Structure 1
Amino acid sequence: VKTDPHEGTMIPQQRQVLFLLVLLGVSGAASEPQQFSVVEEMERGSFVANVAKALGLEVGELSNRGARVIFKGNKDYLQLNHRTGDLLLREKLDREELCGPAEPCVLPFQILLEKPFQIVMAELIVEDINDHSPAFLNTEMVLKVPENKSPGTVFILENAQDLDVGNNSLQNYTISPNSHFHIQIRGDSEGRKYPELVLDKILDREEQSEIILTLTALDGESPPRSGTAQVRVLVVDINDNAPVFAQPRYEVQIPENSSIGSRVVTVSETDLDAGNNADISYTFLHASEIIRKTFQLSEKSGELYLKEKIDFELIQSYTINIQATDGGSLSGKCTIIIQVMDLNDNPPELTISSLTSPIPENSLETAVAVFRVSDLDSGENGKVVCSIQDDLPFALKPSVENFYTLVTEGALDRESRADYNITITVTDLGSPRLKSEHYIKVFISDVNDSPPVFTQRAYKLYLQENNSPALHIGSVSASDRDSGINARVTYSLLPPEIGELPLFSYISINSDNGHLYALRSLDYEAIQAFQFNVRATDGGSPSLSSQAVVQVLVEDENDNSPFVLYPPQNGTAPCNDLVPRAAELGYLVTKVVAVDRDWGQNSWLSYQLLKATDPGLFTLWAHNGEVRTARPISDRDAIKQKLLVLVKDNGQPPLSTAATLNVLLVDGFSEPYIQLPDATKEEVQTDSLTTYLVISLASVSCLFLFSVIMFIAIHLWKRKRDANDGSQFDPNGPFPSYLVDVSGTGTLSQN
């Protein structure tokens, strides 16, 4: 970093901020930058260059790849037309304001291509035009020349300033015609020119005490621009000792946070003359406007004070020339070099170049943001460390020219976390350390990666038989952790059949809410339960689905009256049960056998004797339908007895069936009755009576079993015949015989 040793003028510089691990994996950083040039003071919107052509890209690629132009400090000097690829001026550029006396005036920038990520280094060179004339800080100079000065004596004059550079800057000085002086021009190592007044002829104060000259400064343009100052030469008496400084060169260091008014340095000199010739006054020599604005010099004491704040980031050093002049116009010169000490007074800066949000959750390694970090300080104060929180699935990757890329470390899960608040912390290594934070909120967009999930793997629903059609019997529900259309669930039935009828003739489902409806009235006696699968499908692409099992249990309703199997009630010839007149109390006359197609308590049967020819002769057991004699039979009892039996189930409300029994009282059995012992009777039976009792019981049992077998065989034969005729099972049709068996108590129940 360099400054003008005479002017203290700041020369712009580029700073490189050091990052941890910045050199790892960085490629292409050493490539030559693209150069574009523009003349200062051109109008806004002026054409600079065609970026697409310069980079060897098609015009459409600039827009597709998200091309952007980035200057340091977010200065928008240029704008990029994505449609044409032209690089245009966003504002007028003043080279002197941007670069001062530096030549060439280079503004580095980057062309950022986001997709895929690429940074192209570039430079904008601002060319100078001759828009400034040379100008003297003081339009009048007073020069005291002793009358005894010999010809050839050189007197230093103040120089002019020209903000232009190169050939447009100050090139020459001239003096108005006179017989005593001429101008000679000296230059320094940096090309600046200073005027000196050379004495050609001895002066005579008594002849002419004052000479007025015009000094003209000219630049190199044709025709040249110029500036003038008046030089008043005062001829004074002899002063033979010039002031001598204690040090020809002073070097001091001051921190950049020094307060206004603080003393920088004190220069001192000695003069061997006495009286007025020893009175010393101190002035700036060839001081620029920046030095005169920043420092104040005490004319009497030689103390140098700060006049305004100094900033290391703007100017790092000042070179000040001090001239001491005694009362006899003799002068001496010294140089003060002031080094500004950098303090860590600038926190790091972060500039976001691009930000992508939201990002898909299945992105493996995606660039979320591209940003640049910088620090205006220097040395350790300008070195920075960039970091984010440790518990985030993101990483920082260094790139060229102090750029960082924030990327995802792996696939994200929106269902676990839908957004991230990322704090990018940039900390310098100065003392004390300064840091800045930038907050980014990244949203995660949904990808259809979660199938719908049912609240239950299996559902059990209950339906009362004889239901009304379109009855709502229950619902299934599934949720999807995705969002938007990916979480919109629709329901459908899977197509397997139930028995002989298709599923869709029994059940329908509302595809939006999962409500299930029974389409037809169901008969418990035909179908007691069935199950099917329900599929839940989301709206993603491709869609995901899951299944659940639904079991429907049909609940029985008391809708079937008892059916009498024995005695037959089909209108054929009546069945007569024979009872010997010798039968005693408790004689088993017959047994009423009935069944009920219903289930559970709806099929529990009870028997009741409603009507009889002789109500006192017979009794009916309520639970098993057995008809027994209630008393011994007498000769007065009618031969033909008719009984009306009511068979009733246990449903709500109960249903019943009446059965008619015909009983004949007969004589003529060799052993006409079987005596059944009464539970309360305590007489001792003979051996012969026991034998007859066993024979009678065996006969009745065989007869009963034969009747039941014949009944079952007839019904099986009828069912087989119906099947051969191609008939189908009707839920409202006759009760299927293969669903019944005989219980131990003599009643038939549904299995």
Structure 2
Amino acid sequence: METALSKATQKRQVSFFAILLLLWAADSEAIRYSMPEETENGFLVANLAKDLRLRVEELATRGAQIHYKGNKELLQLDLKTGNLLLCEKLDREVLCGATELCVLHFQVLLENPVQFFQIDLQLTDINDHAPAFPDREMLLKIPENVQPGTAFPLKTAQDLDIGSNAVQNYTISPNLNFHVVTHSHGDGRKYPELVLDRALDAEEQPELSLTLTALDGGAPPRSGTTTVRIEVVDINDNAPQFVQPLYEVQVPENSPLDSLVVTVSARDLDAGTHGSVAYSLFQHDGASQPFVIDEITGEIRLKQALDFEVTRHYNIEIAATDGGGLSSKCNMAVQVVDVNDNSPELTIRTLTSSIPENALETVVAVFSVSDPDSGDNGKMVCSIQNDLPFLLKPTLKNFYTLVT
């Protein structure tokens, strides 16, 4: 009786210490690596056995595995050498979009005994994209009485790279009438303005064509061009004025295409062609534009679909231009409203198929859950039936173990 009791006590103590070790591993600091994007397949990231302070043969005997969300295999562990190898080229822009710090999170699972480690792999940007303008040509209508020194905003070029590899400067083809100035937004993004140097004369030169070039900061730099076509028109006394300077709207992410977002309105006191108003949209960051405006009615509708998990806010500039080329602007702030459009996903790994009837605190399976929705729509509660002889225990974030 005393011997059996002593053995049972020892088993509970061993299980208790195993759980403490497991929790200690889950809370330990992540192992961090860094590499450039677009690195070739087979690249040696690191020797994981060395960094985990394990003998190489322990990786196989302990059933070492690499896990990434969705079970996509981006890294491969060579159990014979302990080397961590790259399985495929990684595109920073595809994996992280415009996010400046691109870090992929992996988990290392040792099955026997169960132990978790966190791996953070940072992808650094390379200059693999050239600047590109949204249109091959942009049109400016400028009255001939506009004074030298007047600045005209131009559309920005899009560059999927970040930091110094993004757009850094704009130039214009040599001419006597204009020069271009490169400005910076608060977040460092560059945008161009065309500045008038010499008064225009519609009778002398009714139209000009200039080449606008965007250059990034790579070595060597990459570039993209567009044509700026300028129509010099007669004077116009009044510019259009919007009814309100800011339109704030909320749009559910599951709104159907072509649904009406808002209608903007501007008035011009002039008559004839000088009093007709045409509407257009601008987005300075060069990102894909999910909205379209009717240039006559001012109706803004949804055009490519919204996704709260990708983009939550849009800040869009709206221009109203009359027939004489004068324009004014207002802003539209769009807040994308989250909809519970994603179901939780569960990935499970069974560790053992046979369990002794008197085994306590034995890990049966390991699984992870994820939900790309945000806020309350992304919160998950994991549970099992109350009448089962198992317990559900959390380990790393969104990781659980099923124990007897």
TM-score, normalised via structure 2 length:
0.90
Q: Which residue number corresponds to residue 403 of structure 1?
A: 399
Q: Is the 8 A contact 1:350 1:372 kept in 2?
A: yes
Letter aligned with residue 246 of structure 1? V
Q: Which residue of 1 aligns with 2:336?
A: 340
- Of 176, 183, 190 in structure 2, the residue corresponding to residue 179 of structure 1 is 176
Match of 1:88 in 2: 85
User: For the residues of structure 2 that align with 1:366 and 1:143, how far apart are their CA atoms?
Assistant: 73
Residue 196, structure 1, aligned to residue 193, structure 2: yes
**Aligned partner of 2:57 among 55, 60, 73:** 60
Show structure 1 runs of 4+ deviating over 6 A: none
Identity of aligned pairs, percent?
60
1:178 is paired with a residue whose SS is coil
Quick one: which amino acid aligns to residue 401 of structure 2?
T
Give, in whole Å, the separation in 2 of the partners of 1:304 and 1:249: 14
Match of 1:226 in 2: 223
Contact 1:26-1:398 at 8 Å conserved across structures: no
Q: Does 1:319 align with 2:315?
A: yes
Cα contact 1:27–1:400 (8 A) shared by 2: no
Higher Cα Rg, which structure: 1
TM-fit CA distance, 1:29: 5.3
1:206 is aligned to 203
Q: Distance in 2 between matches of 1:136 and 1:386?
A: 48
Distance 1:329 1:358 in 2: 80
Aligned partner of 1:390 in structure 2 is 386
Aligned to 1:150: 147
Contact 2:164 2:217 in 1 (8 A): yes
- Partner SS, residue 94 of structure 2: helix
User: Which residue of the other structure, out of 300, 305, 318, is the alignment partner of 1:304?
Assistant: 300
Q: Does residue 1:283 correspond to 2:280, yes or no?
A: yes
In structure 2, C-alpha distance between the alignment counterparts of 1:309 and 1:371, rounded to whole Å: 32
Alignment partner of 1:386: what SS?
coil
Match for residue 102 of structure 1? 99
Superposition RMSD on alpha carbons, in Å? 1.7
For the residues of structure 2 that align with 1:291 and 1:92, how far apart are their CA atoms? 25
For 1:172 and 1:118, locate their aligned partners in 2 and report how far apart those are by CA, in whole Å. 51
Amino acid aligned to 1:98: L
Is 2:67 the counterpart of 1:70?
A: yes
Partner of 2:324: 328
Q: In structure 2, what is the Cα distance between the partners aligned to 1:112 and 1:32?
A: 15
Shift of 1:286: 3.2
Read off the aligned partner of 1:355 and give its amino acid letter.
L
Question: What's the offset of the Cα at 1:372?
Answer: 0.8
- 2:220 partner amino acid: P
SS, match of residue 130 in structure 2: coil
Secondary structure of the structure 1 residue equivalent to 2:50? helix
* CA apart distance, 1:283: 1.1
Alpha-carbon distance between aligned partners in 2 of 1:174 and 1:372, rounded to the nearest angstrom: 52
SS in 2 for 1:360: coil
Gaps of 5+ in 2: 1-21
Q: Which amino acid aligns with 2:49?
A: A
Residues 414-465 of structure 1 deviation map (CA, whole Å, 9 limit, x = unaligned): xxxxxxxxxxxxxxxxxxxxxxxxxxxxxxxxxxxxxxxxxxxxxxxxxxxx
Select between 177-186 and 56-65 the one with higher mean Cα deviation.
56-65
TM-score, normalised to structure 1, is: 0.50
1:599-634 per-position Cα deviation (integer Å, ceiling 9, x unaligned) = xxxxxxxxxxxxxxxxxxxxxxxxxxxxxxxxxxxx
Matching of residues 623-642 of structure 1 within 5 Å = none
Q: Which has the higher contact order (CA 8 A, sep 6+)?
A: 2
The equivalent of 1:46 in structure 2 is 43
Task: Say whether the 8 Å CA contact 2:26–2:117 is kept in structure 1.
Answer: no
The count of aligned residue pairs is 383
- Does structure 1 residue 270 correspond to structure 2 residue 248? no
- Separation in 1, partners of 2:27, 2:230: 59
Q: Given residue 72 of structure 1, which amino acid in structure 2 is its aligned partner?
A: K
Q: Deviations over 1:108-157 (max 9, x none)?
A: 12112222222212211112211111111111111111111111100011
Task: Give the distance between the partners of 1:380 and 1:39, measured in 2 at CA.
Answer: 36
In 2, Cα distance between equivalents of 1:368 and 1:119: 15
- Tell me if structure 2 keeps the 8 A contact 1:70–1:353: no
Distance 1:184 1:209, change over 3 A: same
2:356 maps to 360
- Residue 281 of structure 1 deviates from its aligned partner by 0.8
Match of 2:252 among 250, 255, 258: 255
